[in-house]
A and B are shown apart, each in its own frame.
Chain A
Amino acid sequence: MAVLVYTETLNGNFKKNAFEAVSYAYDLAEKTGQPLVAIAFNAESCDALFDYGVNKVLHVKDENLKMFNARVFAQVIADIATKQSAHTLILSATTDAKYMGGILAAKLKAGFVPNVMARPLSIEPLVVKRMTFSNKGFAHTRINTDFRIIGVSNNSFGLVENKVDGSIEELSTDVGDSDFNTRSVNVERVTGKVTIADADIVVSGGRGLKGPENWGLVEELADVLGAATACSKPVSDMGWRPHSEHVGQTGKPVACNLYVAIGISGAIQHLAGINASKVKVVINTDPEAPFFKAADYGIVGDAFEVVPKLTEKLKEFKAQNA
């Protein structure tokens, strides 16, 4: 028996989320005395996985798996899990992993717990801590089934290096045309920009910025920080920014290391979606804005004055610490 972890790639390279899932899986494998086995599709090189404690990589190279397809990917993963007689599968919290989670749970007759934020509270029975009620609460969830699937929340466990000498086994699949009941016909992906899902730092703007023409402020700050840009719901509803940037309870969830909120009041629905972030900074003219109650650091001031200065200071800081 082994602990399995699915390691997601984009264009052949492992995502950061994959290493976090592996770090979590390694911890569990250690505790239960099982080997750690990673499943990877079409990776250029699997070596990086050994830095995080993977004993063996089951690598599948297959043209049919070049493009993500939830049902087909889940079928291949479930087949491998069954052949390995594994009982535990660790996933990350990417959009694609969440897409597969339910499908895999049904295929493997597994209890699936997503949004897990810490190492298990108990191993036998397996009890994990997960975020629920849109981050306004945490649940201790017991998994009752033989096969268990855990989805690790972004930036919750962190990356933990554990170098080992591992091996790679190449596998083949028999995926065929008839296995696809959905077909991807077009993918538009922004390139050269950090996405909210992958970002360590997110710089977010609200209605306090007055209009889309002022977003240069947000983008320049994001640039120096290597951050993704985001916005509050009304900002995307008014079309100042694309919907894909809307964060919060009804938008994208954000769980980054540093969240900078500019001209955002801090409504409960906004906070619910970003509260899992570790450090929050708020810049707002109104000292009574609710965001000040949720933030770690704050500046009461006008964004149009404060943000360009902050950008300048950070540039200087970067230059000194380069």
Chain B
Amino acid sequence: MKILVCISNVPDTTSKINFTDGDTKFDSNGVQFVINPNDEFGLTRAMWFKEKQGAVVHVATVGEIQVEPTMRKALAIGADEAIRVNAQPTDGFFVASQLAEVVKQGGYDLVIAGRESIDYNGGMVPGIMSELLDMSFVNTCIGLEIEGQNATASREIDGGKETIETTLPLIIGGQKGLVEETDLRIPNMRGIMMARQKKLTVVEPTDVSPATEDIKFEKPAPKGDVKLVDAGNIDELVSLLHQEAKVI
């Protein structure tokens, strides 16, 4: 089985978000970048398929040269090869089109993406890819087993869980549950050394126009001060929620 894990390079979850150039660009100054958390769960599940079922695991990222440390980290965790599409990831449609091309070239049986990136929050890249490639697709995937050509996946639904049967080739939009938090791996020294020798191929993007464009950003308005209510005066909280906030 040949697996492609799509990895988005995102600001660390603790990052403060600022904009620059007249609020038209994300300000990456001083920001630490990491593997998108949903993709890290997917990559870890891919490692399981590698170790238990002999799968070959590649990772792909659409991004410029600055994303390579994140890709090296994925290699250090255990991916066999990495592919970088040398372009700025402008929108979900653009990224999905680039990754679909990588999938076509590489002939993958399973494509693991995340349910959502924590920066763009589009939640659309795997869905668009599935349609461009005519592959089966399971989103919000919280469990995946594969035997031969058959896959059993579970997905989170509003208020519960659904089990789905399907066949390869398959794309998933994964999240926590695919593996547990405690299964996540921190690269060790040996992994980091080996990652330096592994193949990182750079390919040029295909010519696709983005379907949407972020023309301006803004930050949420600063929050007013919290109104503190004395623990001995809970009636006051009830009346504030009723009369002032009007939520009960």
Chain A interface residues toward B at CB < 8 A: 68, 70-71, 94-96, 98-103, 105-107, 109-115, 127, 130-145, 181-190, 193, 195, 197-198, 200-201, 225, 233, 237, 243-244, 246, 249-251, 257-258, 268-269, 272, 275, 278-279, 281-282, 292-302, 305-306, 309-310, 313-314, 317, 321
Contact = CB atoms under 8 A, between A and B. Distances in A.
B159 A182 contact: no
Contacts of B14: 268-269
A294 B223 contact: yes
Contacts of A107: 131
Contacts of B241: 258, 279, 281, 297
B212 interface: yes
Interface in B221-248: 223-224, 226-231, 234-235, 237-238, 240-242, 245, 247-248
A309 B234 contact: yes
A142 B215 contact: yes
B188 interface: no
A297 B220 contact: no
- Interface of chain A: mostly helix, strand, loop or mixed: mixed
A297 B120 CA distance: 30
19 contacts: A70-B127, A102-B125, A111-B91, A111-B93, A137-B219, A182-B166, A185-B163, A187-B160, A190-B159, A190-B160, A237-B180, A250-B118, A272-B118, A297-B228, A298-B226, A299-B234, A310-B237, A313-B237, A314-B238
A298 B229 contact: yes
A184 B166 CA distance: 9
Interface residues of B, number: 83
Given A243-B142, A281-B237, A258 B211 contact: no
Interface in B84-124: 91-93, 96, 118-124
B224 to A, nearest CB: 8
A27 B2 CA distance: 48
Nearest 3 pairs of A and B residues by beta carbon = A102-B127, A301-B231, A106-B131
A102 B130 contact: yes
A294 B26 CA distance: 23
Contact of B121 (A114, A142, A193, A198): A114
B111 to A, nearest CB: 13
A187 B165 CA distance: 12
A181 B177 contact: no
Contacts of A188: 160-162
